[in-house]
Amino acid sequence: MEFLDLKTQQKRIRKPLEKRINKILDHGAYIMGPEVFELEEKLADYCGVKHAISCSSGTDALLIPLMAWGVGPGDAIFTTPFTYVATAEVIAILGATPVFVDVYESTYNIDCDKLEIEIKRVINEGKLKPKAIIPVDLFGLPARYRLIDQIAKKYNLKVIEDAAQSFGGSIRKQKVGTFGDVAATSFYPAKPLGCYGDGGAIFTNDSNLAEKCKAIRIHGTKNDKYNSEMIGLNGRLDSMQAAVLLEKLSIFDDEITRRNEVNSYYRKFLNNAQYHPKDYQSAHALFSIVLGSNEKRDSLIERLKLKKIPTVVYYKFPIHSMDAFKYLNYKDHDFPTSFMLSKTIVSLPMHPYLAFDDINQIVQVLRSIQ
């Protein structure tokens, strides 16, 4: 059994993908070739936004808009500690301060009541200037953007939707990639839409922001590639990865449908998974459950391992507990829900090609420890 089955997926797209790769070998435009611009057009159309800007990773997709806004020392950026480190890492790289906000116990996404409390606290302290919010769509489930946008407008903050795991999801049929001022996604191979290396994309309806992001991804250049007009980075997507994504995009809706079916089948037997509010459509990047204790979680992992069933813990360490962020002086229990989840959560196999018989096998092991 595979935790993520890329081999079966590749069989579906191999022949047309080889044609695309051969075309790249013929034209020789390996960086920012025609496939990249074709992909950007199709991604923008898929989400329903004016601009999709491809880049080299999901991390750069978060970093580039922050750079475009001039985020730096003295700025406070609000986000969750229960996510992959990149979300907070891009804030720290620019010298700004990550201000963590705990998550809902039900959805694992940023708690909007606690978000407003933290914003008020930072304002009252007067040491940092609130600048932006980066909500994370954890495991594929979009955050509560209606509430987040209301809070952002109240305090004049920017919003970056961290859609690294949620591309393909929606809220009330509005596609992920369209929330906030700008959205960022990742095309890491394990993501619902993933390439065969690193890749990412930025989505926005703000044309001025889009032009800045396009320049920053190519060393801050605009009209003359040898004259950097602003500080940038090497954040381009290569043509080979664009070719992979174009072929995967052609079967993406079918795979999202199948992920929904796998999720629904799991939930016939399990009631300790992430809560999905009405009208929220997850991309089902992961299927995670919460056990009653750390001991139960570890016992389940070992029993599944004996049956050759893979599991992964997302996330073993909340960001505020990591060594790299000790300078912020947070304590483990400052964010009790995130800390609890890190000790009790486990992710089970989830992909479009997972057989129901495999899920039945997983459920049998689960029942043996409950």
Q: Where are the domains of the chain?
A: 6-249, 252-369
Half-sphere exposure of 365 (CA within 13 A, CB side): 22
Q: What is the tens place of the pLDDT at every residue in 212-257?
A: 999 999 999 998 989 999 999 999 999 999 999 999 999 999 999 9
Q: Which amino acid is at 309?
A: I
186 vs 195: CA distance, rounded Å: 9
Q: Which amino acid is at 94?
A: L
Q: What is the tens place of the pLDDT at every residue in 139-194?
A: 999 999 999 999 999 999 999 999 999 999 999 999 999 999 999 999 999 999 99
132 vs 151: CA distance, rounded Å: 11
* Verdict on whether the full-model pTM lies above 0.75: yes
Q: Which amino acid is at 295?
A: E
Tell me the backbone φ, ψ of residue 322, rounded to 5 degrees: -75, 150
Q: Please name the CATH architecture into which domain 6-249 falls.
A: 3-Layer(aba) Sandwich (3.40)
Q: What is the tens place of the pLDDT at every residue in 268-321?
A: 999 999 999 999 999 999 999 999 999 999 999 999 999 999 999 999 999 999
CA torsion sign for 120, 121, 124, 127 is: negative
User: Domain spanning 252-369: which superfamily?
Assistant: Aspartate Aminotransferase, domain 1 (3.90.1150.10)
Point out which residues pair with 162 in neighbouring strands.
136, 184
